[in-house]
Structures are given as C-alpha cells and as structure tokens.
Chain A
C-alpha cells in the first residue's frame, strides 16, 4: 500500500449516489459499461476527462443516498485512485473499502484546485499539496488496510474459500 498520485477533481457537499451513478443505468452489470457513466449526474464530462489515478476531492457526506455499489464500481473502473471527503455516506464508504477503492475521511478540506496534482501516502496518512503543504489523515486501521492491500474483499474471501 504505497503512494497514489493524481489530479484533483473537486466536488461539493452531499454528492449523492444518484449523481455519482444515475438510476437509469442500474440494470448494467458490466463494469466497463458502468464506468462510462461515472459522476454523470454531477459532471457529464467526467468519464471523458478522468485519467487513471485521478482523485476525487469532495465536501461533506459524499456518496449519501442509495446503496448502489455501481457508484463505486463506476469510479474504480473509470480509473479513480482515491476519494477524499470530509465525510461519507456510510454504505458508499463500506462499498469503497470492499472494492479496494481508498475512501479517506479528512478533518479539513485540502487547499487544492481542480486539476492540481496530489500525492497520497496511505501508510503515513499524508497528502502532499501543490503549495508544498502536507495534510494529515488517520491511516486505515489494520482490518481495512488488509482489504485495500488485497485489492478488495473479493480476493480475500476467495482465498478463504479455497483454503
């Protein structure tokens, strides 16, 4: 579990899962098809703009609303490397960890603008900001670290099943 680097995409408070992944696409089951609609309700151009490793920087309560796991699948498959927010809808948070997408709760908003390059150190619990500043966060507890490191809970449970 090393460092992640990517460009910041800034979003406001209370971005719900309908905005992250609109309901009319819920019947889709192929991750690539799901990814084509990532963040469509908040920024229709997001799927074209996002590049592997990019980082979502949101306000309070990111991922509130529906329990749809498609929201996390869409972000992950679109290449999002991490989501930073002041707080998360709790089901979104669980879904993110389960699928190995680092969802990081911050005590304060990072001083970053759209497109700024951020470097996240998951081990240390730090974010290097473009102005040279460092923002700290509580590193994941061991249980969650194990899931993120293993690429999500699916490979972990699978290895138990085989063992």
Chain B
C-alpha cells in the first residue's frame, strides 16, 4: 500500500484499502473558514445537536479579515457564537492569518492524520505527511455531526524532483513548470506524491508551495514522506507523537514522472488560466498597476524576505501599487523582527492584516477594469481579483518584487544581478 492508503485504512478501521474503493474515514481535524456560514446552516438543517468532537474542529477567519462589509462582520458574529456554544477551543480570529499557515504553526497538523477543510488549498498539508483535502460546506457539516466522511481512495502519481534550483528561481517556479507540463486537469481525482533529492533539499515552506498549488492541477491531495526536517519543524511546535507511514516497495504508482528543477527558469501563468505558463522573459516589459505578495501560496516569511532582498533600499515607481499580506501573525511578527517589513514599507509597499488579502477579489487591493496585476498567489481566473476585465499574472515572489520595482514585468535575475 501507499502511505496515503495506510492513513486512510487506519482511519477507516481496515487492514487494507485499494485505489477506487470508497471508505468511510474518521476525521482528525476539520477546519471551517469564514466564507462558509453555509457549514452552520447545513449543520442546523441536518438537525445537528452538537459537534462530534469540539477539540478536532477549527474556525479560521482569514478571507474576510478584517470584515470588508456589514454582512461579512455579521457572518463572523454568527460563527463566534457557534464556536462559543459548541465549546470549540480553536478559533483563529481576524488577527491570526490564513488557515493553511496558522494550523501548522499552531501545532494542529501532524503526519498520518486525516484533515478536511472548506478550502481547496488544503492540499498544502501533504507537506506534513497528512492526508488532507478540501471539501464543501455541507460535507464539512456532515463531519461535524458524524466525525467521518466518505472518500474514494485515490490513485497516486509520483513526481520525482531532481537537481538544484538555479539562481533567481523558487519553488513557485517549479510548480508553475509542473502546471505547464501537466495542465490544470492533469491530476483530477488523483493524489500527487513529491519525492526525490530536490524535495529533500526544499524547506518546509517550499514544500508547502508545491503541495499548495497541486490543486491547480486538479489533485485531491498530496504527500511528502516525513523526514528529519519535518520532525524538527514539528518538535519546535511541541509535536513529538505521531505515526509515520511509509509506502511499500511493491506499491504500483498510477504514473511516475521526473522533473529536473535545475532546468527551471522564472515562469509566470499569463491570463486567464493557471496552466497558461511561459518564461517571464516572454512578457518582460508589460506594464503593471499592482503587485501582490501574500496568501497560503506566497505569503510566508521566506517569500517576504525574497521580496525585501529585491526591494531593500529601492523604491517602486509612482502609480504602482505593491500590496503585502503576511500569511499569519507569526510571519508578520518575524518579518518585523528581521526588518523586512520596514524595508518593504520604505520601498513603497502597502501592508495589510494577515489573511488571504486581495487573492479572491473581495477587498484589500481589488483590480479595476483593464488593470494588470502580477501576484505571488495561486490563481488568475477571470475576475478572480476584481474586475473580469483585469489581467492577472501568477509568478514567484521574486518575480513579483522585481516587477514592482520596475513597474513592468521583469525577470528577477536582471534585478538580482544589479543589486549584487
């Protein structure tokens, strides 16, 4: 069996499971974000009389932090009341950050667990050796009542990453390269395991990036075999006790692919599809109105530091907006301590509260008709960040920072060479 199958088998109380089988698995962690008052509405419509295990439930107010409208504020109020009534100990309020960042930071994510959340980027937690997948609001409400959910055991695709990242490229460019090759529907319904020496070299933050955007290729979940680097990350958060599953040597993958990260160059996804991927150089010189660095894809300390490295002691041009949204309070505090927030603000950045920022087009930097944005977030669907007539380019934090500096799409290698 694959490690993912062993996790599902344990959660379903079975000795063996196989791809294609439907299993009912016990859920270890269920997270609800503030877009989905529907979870509570479905819970009540189903006659829910109390959540199955309040310790395993998490609410995170990240998409509407702080609330941009009276309705969003009222949705938060109803959720806070539900949390209080049900005795749920984990409420990350508007000061906390993006769910996929605050849950690992808070020591809630561990290897071998079954994690569901009302967010498609839940695939991020494969970086921690968890079986983690996004679900809808009513599915999550079923979990609140039953503590279980049905899953089809997925086929597993293995992607072996070899080589070393060249100067000026990042894990984001790797996952954009994968999107270029495998496309937006490459792994629909399937699980993606990342393996190989480049994955071992990657930091936890870099692993989170490639797992996060696996969903843009349709993946149901991801998996990276836990190693010493992960053990250290977990131990620093007081997590020592967890199972580590390993894949049997005779397991047959649905597909095995090799990808040499040493061949990657700075890439971007051009409007209006995540798999419309090209070298940054092909679009060099395109004028931008806004640059955005943040989210569960690109708002970690490492991302802000990359941007600061490009922008320190420099100034973005007048008329260009640079919006920075730290992924979490912890990231924000660390970025203040290292001075990188100061560097970015002095360079002309507008820093928002931790959370999802303008990624999903509800506040904190929406785009007008005809505007062009380059973003370190994950999606450039039509209308994603505001006007359907806006154009969104998805790229690495380095490319976004270099483009902000010049006011036009720029290969970060040009700027890094200048600065060195």
A65 & B379 in contact (Cβ 8 Å cutoff): yes
| Chain A residues proximal to chain B, CB less than 8 Å | 13-14, 16, 18-19, 22-24, 26-29, 41-42, 60-61, 64-70, 72-73, 87-91, 94-95, 98-99, 143, 152-154, 157-158, 161-162
B360 & A69 in contact (Cβ 8 Å cutoff): no
- Could you say which residues of chain A place their CB within 8 Å of the CB of B145? 157, 161
Also in contact, A61 and B188, with CB within 8 A (given A19-B382, A27-B64): yes
B64 & A89 in contact (Cβ 8 Å cutoff): no
B218 & A64 in contact (Cβ 8 Å cutoff): yes
How many chain-B residues does the 8 Å CB contact rule pick out?
48
B139 & A41 in contact (Cβ 8 Å cutoff): no
Also in contact, A65 and B36, with CB within 8 A (given A157-B46, A158-B47): no
B120 & A67 in contact (Cβ 8 Å cutoff): yes
- Could you say which residues of chain B place their CB within 8 Å of the CB of A143? 22, 150
Give which listed residue, A67, A87, A157, A158, contacts B136 with CB less than 8 A. A67
- Could you say which residues of chain A place their CB within 8 Å of the CB of B273? 14
8 shortest interchain CB distances as A-B pairs: A95-B136, A161-B47, A61-B185, A69-B136, A23-B360, A157-B46, A18-B381, A69-B137
Distance of A120 Cα from B138 Cα, bound (Å): 26
**Shortest distance in angstroms between B414's beta carbon and chain A's nearest beta carbon?**
32
A23 & B142 in contact (Cβ 8 Å cutoff): no
- Could you say which residues of chain A place their CB within 8 Å of the CB of B64? 27
- Could you say which residues of chain A place their CB within 8 Å of the CB of B42? 154
- Could you say which residues of chain A place their CB within 8 Å of the CB of B22? 143
A41 & B35 in contact (Cβ 8 Å cutoff): no
Residue of B nearest to A13 (CB): B185
B63 & A26 in contact (Cβ 8 Å cutoff): yes
Distance of A16 Cα from B218 Cα, bound (Å): 11
Give which listed residue, A14, A41, A68, contacts B383 with CB less than 8 A. A41
Also in contact, A98 and B184, with CB within 8 A (given A28-B71, A161-B46): no
| Chain B residues proximal to chain A, CB less than 8 Å | 22, 35-38, 41-42, 45-49, 63-64, 69, 71-72, 75, 118-120, 134-139, 142, 145-146, 150, 184-185, 188-189, 218, 220, 273, 360-362, 379, 381-384, 386, 388
Also in contact, A61 and B218, with CB within 8 A (given A69-B137, A69-B138, A98-B139): yes
B119 & A67 in contact (Cβ 8 Å cutoff): yes
- Could you say which residues of chain A place their CB within 8 Å of the CB of B362? 23-24, 26-27
Distance of A48 Cα from B112 Cα, bound (Å): 48
**Known pairs A22-B388, A98-B142 / 13 extra A-B pairs, C-beta < 8 Å:** A18-B383, A29-B75, A64-B185, A64-B218, A65-B381, A87-B188, A89-B188, A91-B136, A152-B138, A153-B138, A157-B142, A157-B146, A161-B47
**Shortest distance in angstroms between A61's beta carbon and chain B's nearest beta carbon?**
4
Residue of A nearest to B152 (CB): A90
B381 & A27 in contact (Cβ 8 Å cutoff): no
**Shortest distance in angstroms between B185's beta carbon and chain A's nearest beta carbon?**
4
A60 & B119 in contact (Cβ 8 Å cutoff): no
B45 & A23 in contact (Cβ 8 Å cutoff): no
- Could you say which residues of chain A place their CB within 8 Å of the CB of B139? 94-95, 98
Counting chain B CB atoms within 10 Å of each CB, the highest count among A60, A70, A157 belongs to A157
A-B contact pairs, 27 of them (CB 8 A): A14-B184, A16-B379, A18-B361, A18-B381, A19-B381, A19-B383, A26-B63, A26-B362, A27-B75, A29-B38, A41-B383, A42-B382, A64-B184, A66-B120, A72-B136, A73-B38, A90-B218, A91-B135, A91-B136, A94-B136, A95-B138, A152-B138, A154-B45, A157-B47, A157-B142, A161-B46, A161-B49
A27 & B38 in contact (Cβ 8 Å cutoff): no
- Could you say which residues of chain A place their CB within 8 Å of the CB of B146? 157
B72 & A27 in contact (Cβ 8 Å cutoff): yes
Distance of A5 Cα from B218 Cα, bound (Å): 30
